[in-house]
Structure 1
Amino acid sequence: MTAAVPSNTADALLAREDFGTLSEMLAAWAAERPDHPAVIEGGHVLSYAQLDARADRVAAALQRDGAKHSIAIVSYSCVDYVAAYAGALRAGLAVAPLPPSATPEQIAGMAQDSDAGHLFWDAPNAAALAGIAAGLPGKRIRFDNAEFETWLAPAGAKPAPVAITPQMPFNIIYSSGTTGTPKGIVQPHGMRWLHMQRATAYGYDRDAVTLLSTPLYSNTTLVSLFPTLAGGGTAVLMAKFEVEAYLELAQNHRVTHTMLVPVQYRRIMAHPAFDRFDLSAFRAKFCTSAPFAAALKADILKRWPGKLIEFYGMTEGGGTCILIADEHPGKLHTVGPAAPGHDIRLIGEDGREVAPGEIGEIVGHSGAIMTDYHKQPGKTAEAEWYAPDGRRFIRTGDMGRFDADGFLQLMDRRKDMIISGGFNIYPSDLEAVLREHPAVYDVAVVGVPSEAWGETPVAFVVKAPGQAATAEEILAWANARLGKMQRLSAVVFREVLPRSAIGKVLKRELRDEYAKVPA
């Protein structure tokens, strides 16, 4: 029996099987619940009517300026960031959200690569980029002073309608650059629409309140922001993550949904006041972007209300695995099975699928897949794998294996795998052992050059507070539990591990750091 299509206009738009757009959804919610808060950051609030009207004024101003191709944004999270994003989409332009954490030269390079004619920024980033203004788009508008308000088209302005197709670029998300020059990942409108429709299964509805503390340039954040707005809910933004402030916002706003990366979960669960906050409104908590320890998942399930859902996938799209942790407590060491309608396979160095139970590189196919790497056909081709039937898959660069139930267990990035004496060593296996030591709060294992073995593993450890264990003691303890070919050559203490803004350990920095240590 087929469920009835909701009679409500906005809900009906999202429920339809054919293509729709975020712009349509914002207009529908503005008509249906104009005063409901759409976006909140600090003391700034945009209702759906205000967000929709502001998007119109942005789109009309861009059309007035003759904007083509795209805009770029480099700013910390704020309500007008969302308005500028929505307005550009309404004008038929792509959005290139750029990471403030990048160097000025990288930001200029990404802005130029995106073909953006307009750059939207805030005061901190305007100051940071002052020295390279000549390399930035000619039209630059500040969010946090009178510039943005003055630049907008007059109140009540309406842009010329633009017909949006599924293949048109929605945004250009630049890779973190932790493995080289950032690549512009072109995500089409059709891919984003599938993300928004998929999210209805997780309760992103008109009563949802989503707390987002990761940056708006990251796909990690956007896969929760856009479904919240498409569903008519409220997105609460944090310009900067801080544990107690996060918990206070979650309690005060009766937050129902959140997207966090593993390092944020770890810090939240370790906060001494965690259990004093009322988090009972939570329906679902999401995680992605970095390895998520099984013990941490178990602690969250025990102490934090609501479902815990882990997504494994790429900004490039392709295939996604989903672990609904509360439904599969015995599978917390995995990232779950392939999502419905997604095809995940494992391939070897020869490009052929590996035998069941073997480790291989993860490739994925689905309807949600990037168009290409912007202006980099060679890199695009490197990221693709084609099945015998001709279907296009995206290569993840991650190694993994399926268990007998079809749940995927991640090993490591292919580039992070250590080959020592001809044997493959997966750092995640060593990290799992080290995390069992009471003195180890955080750890990353990398391969460093070795004359005897080619490569040898070294562990960088952040000690737990109050622990007095020496590096030699931890080394001996770990090596007594590791296989002969897995044994560590050294343990190095660090105050913190270097991480990207979305929590990925920057292992290249650790390798470079170790190379500079005198022998």
Structure 2
Amino acid sequence: MTAQLSDYTTTLARWEAERPQAPAITFEGTTRTWAELAQRVRRAAAALRAAGVRPGDRIAVLDLNHPSCVELTLACAQIGATNAVVNFRLAPPEIVYVINDAGARLLFVGPEFAGAAQQLRDKIPTVEQVVHIGGDGDEYEAWLAAQEPDAEVHPAESGDCFVQLYTSGTTGFPKGAMLTHGGMLAHARNVMVDFELTDEGRVQVAMPLFHVGGTSYALLAIAAGAQIRMLRLPDPVAVVEMLERDRITHTFLVPALLAAIVQVPGIAERDFSALQALSYGASPMPLPVLRACLKLFPGVMHQVYGMTEACGVVSSLGPEDHGDPAVAHRLVSAGTPTHGVEIEIRDPATGEPVPTGEPGEIWVRTDQLMGGYWGKPEATAAAITEDGWLRSGDGGHIDADGYIYVTDRIKDMIISGGENIYPAEIERVLAEHPTVGDVAVIGVPDDRWGEVPKAVVVAAPGQTVDPEALIAFARENLAGFKAPKSVDVVDELPRNPTGKILKKDLRKPFWEGRDRQVV
């Protein structure tokens, strides 16, 4: 990566000039070179301009993973517009909200969502044109072919937004994080240093492009000049086959997917020797799954902690810490800050730094930060301080060796008899019990202590949960005040479209009519 690359249009042009015939992106058997990708991006830029899209405008993509989303993001970068990538797992009213919030002028829709888009058409008044991508009704290729490549480049500033990803929003509606050229390129530079990604890399993009684990990972590969190998859906068998067949060097996967991957028949006989970095994050990794992964993927596991508002990764726990029994306690940490990132623990009430080892809110300062939340200056001011610190909303602490431990969302913390209890700590212990398949811990009212922990669990396949035995197991592994005082067994846990457990829904029945506000 060279210093003069200040925007993604310049970045793409670099690889087109230096490696025109090298493969840039492969999807479902079709490979496009850097020269071909650059020409397609210029045609998309011409088509967007022909449709009236101007600097500052938004378009939206509602689709499973497809190279067209990356092409449109790069075309927006070229003309000064922004691609708002819609979470396809959202409910129809939420999809309407995101498209209208962005004020998208064009909507690009995959075949799986064509019917839904038609039904919602009269509810998204800013959309002037719908373009269908893929399938029998594909319009995208003809839309591109109708234009000659447009070489005109809007003069981009480092702080210009070109891709907008929406936070999952466990309360209220999602917020559009405005991700900029400067932020995305800073993220790419920092990750390339820590994960040793070069233009010889082969990067698997398996996670959805509406998430930083998809779009930021794809843009990381483009910044590095590495090949992208994209999957339409993160199917565990397809992920495994691509890792082996395509000799993937770098990938990012979430723990739920890894839990399925370790169960793929014949997984132990696969050849993953090309793999240099397998990053995982976005939710806690159950230790049994992690142990299985360490056997399958020795020497390459990186736990990463990040957020949409920081364009992706801000800390990592590298392979050396995963493989050293002397520091096994670090397996539940988020590692240390990545290159170019500062992390401090602050008192969430006062904003003052807390002593080493003491809990507080995780604050992050880096050039990777978003430009703000689209159309929400008050939310932006609440999240980013005047001196450039992002308040993550996550609780945690840093130990004497500088390792970061993410305990929970600040709002999920349980205060019982004056003691701060972080549910994630309890959940990690309960997940070790063989009868537990899924678990969430919440605070419920208690006349003596104010609130106490309750575990809500889903039984593992073929298992029956004994609440008293589970509480006893917790007491063996946790301080008594942290152990859950009760256990509810349910068929499934409520989750939002990105898979995060909706603890507010679990808490609500217990706090109805009480003074405490449930959020």
Q: What TM-score do the two structures reach when normalised by structure 2?
A: 0.89
Worse overlay, 227-236 or 471-480? 471-480
Structure 1 157/487 Cα, relative in aligned 2: closer, same or farther at 3 Å? closer
Q: Does 1:322 align with 2:316?
A: yes
Indicate which of 263, 270, 283 corresponds to 1:277. 270
Q: Does 1:446 align with 2:424?
A: no
- Please give the alpha-carbon distance, in whole angstroms, between the structure 2 residues aligned to 1:496 and 1:32: 52
- Please give the alpha-carbon distance, in whole angstroms, between the structure 1 residues aligned to 2:118 and 2:511: 34
Q: SS at 1:270's partner residue?
A: coil
Q: Does 1:384 align with 2:370?
A: no
Structure 1: give runs of 5+ residues left out of the alignment: 1-13
User: Do 2:190 and 2:338's aligned partners in 1 also have CA atoms closer than 8 Å?
Assistant: no
Q: Does 1:84 align with 2:77?
A: no
Paired letter, 2:343: I
Q: Does 1:56 align with 2:42?
A: yes
- Please give the alpha-carbon distance, in whole angstroms, between the structure 1 residues aligned to 2:286 and 2:465: 22
Structure 1 384/195 Cα, relative in aligned 2: closer, same or farther at 3 Å? closer
Shift of the alpha carbon at 1:189?
A: 0.8
Which residue is 1:418 aligned to?
414
Deviation string, structure 1 residues 75-108 (Cα, Å, up to 9, x no partner): 1101222222222222221111110111222222
- Please give the alpha-carbon distance, in whole angstroms, between the structure 1 residues aligned to 2:116 and 2:490: 28
Indicate which of 103, 119, 144 corresponds to 1:115. 103
CA RMSD of aligned residues (A): 2.4
Which residue is 2:507 aligned to?
511
Which residue is 1:347 aligned to?
346
Which residue is 1:332 aligned to?
331
Structure 1 306/356 Cα, relative in aligned 2: closer, same or farther at 3 Å? closer
Shift of the alpha carbon at 1:183?
A: 0.7
Deviation string, structure 1 residues 278-302 (Cα, Å, up to 9, x no partner): 1111011112212234554444233
User: Do 1:301 and 1:326's aligned partners in 2 also have CA atoms closer than 8 Å?
Assistant: no
Worse overlay, 376-385 or 321-330? 321-330
Structure 1 515/38 Cα, relative in aligned 2: closer, same or farther at 3 Å? farther
Structure 1 17/58 Cα, relative in aligned 2: closer, same or farther at 3 Å? same
Paired letter, 2:105: G
Worse overlay, 162-171 or 196-205? 196-205
Shift of the alpha carbon at 1:511?
A: 3.2
Paired letter, 2:304: F
Which residue is 1:263 aligned to?
256
- Please give the alpha-carbon distance, in whole angstroms, between the structure 1 residues aligned to 2:346 and 2:446: 29
Shift of the alpha carbon at 1:154?
A: 3.2
User: Do 1:261 and 1:502's aligned partners in 2 also have CA atoms closer than 8 Å?
Assistant: no
- Please give the alpha-carbon distance, in whole angstroms, between the structure 2 residues aligned to 1:482 and 1:197: 41
Indicate which of 135, 140, 156 corresponds to 2:130. 140
Which residue is 2:29 aligned to?
43
- Please give the alpha-carbon distance, in whole angstroms, between the structure 1 residues aligned to 2:478 and 2:188: 44
- Please give the alpha-carbon distance, in whole angstroms, between the structure 1 residues aligned to 2:183 and 2:342: 16
User: Do 1:204 and 1:227's aligned partners in 2 also have CA atoms closer than 8 Å?
Assistant: no
Structure 1 29/212 Cα, relative in aligned 2: closer, same or farther at 3 Å? same
Which residue is 1:99 aligned to?
87
Q: SS at 1:258's partner residue?
A: strand
Shift of the alpha carbon at 1:309?
A: 1.7
User: Matches of residues 353-432 of structure 1 in structure 2 within 5 Å?
Assistant: 353-386=353-386, 391-432=387-428
Paired letter, 1:336: G
Q: SS at 1:332's partner residue?
A: helix
Count of residues paired in the alignment: 498
Which residue is 2:158 aligned to?
166
Which residue is 1:23 aligned to?
9
Structure 1 43/18 Cα, relative in aligned 2: closer, same or farther at 3 Å? closer
User: Do 1:53 and 1:156's aligned partners in 2 also have CA atoms closer than 8 Å?
Assistant: no
User: Do 2:315 and 2:336's aligned partners in 1 also have CA atoms closer than 8 Å?
Assistant: yes
User: Matches of residues 199-238 of structure 1 in structure 2 within 5 Å?
Assistant: 199-201=191-193, 202-238=195-231
User: Do 1:72 and 1:97's aligned partners in 2 also have CA atoms closer than 8 Å?
Assistant: yes
- Please give the alpha-carbon distance, in whole angstroms, between the structure 1 residues aligned to 2:256 and 2:509: 22
Worse overlay, 186-195 or 348-357? 348-357
Shift of the alpha carbon at 1:490?
A: 2.5
- Please give the alpha-carbon distance, in whole angstroms, between the structure 1 residues aligned to 2:464 and 2:502: 26
Structure 2: give runs of 5+ residues left out of the alignment: 513-519
User: Matches of residues 454-493 of structure 1 in structure 2 within 5 Å?
Assistant: 454-479=450-475, 481-493=477-489
User: Do 2:414 and 2:443's aligned partners in 1 also have CA atoms closer than 8 Å?
Assistant: yes
- Please give the alpha-carbon distance, in whole angstroms, between the structure 2 residues aligned to 1:451 and 1:43: 62
User: Do 2:445 and 2:452's aligned partners in 1 also have CA atoms closer than 8 Å?
Assistant: yes
Shift of the alpha carbon at 1:141?
A: 0.7
Which residue is 2:169 aligned to?
177
Paired letter, 1:442: D
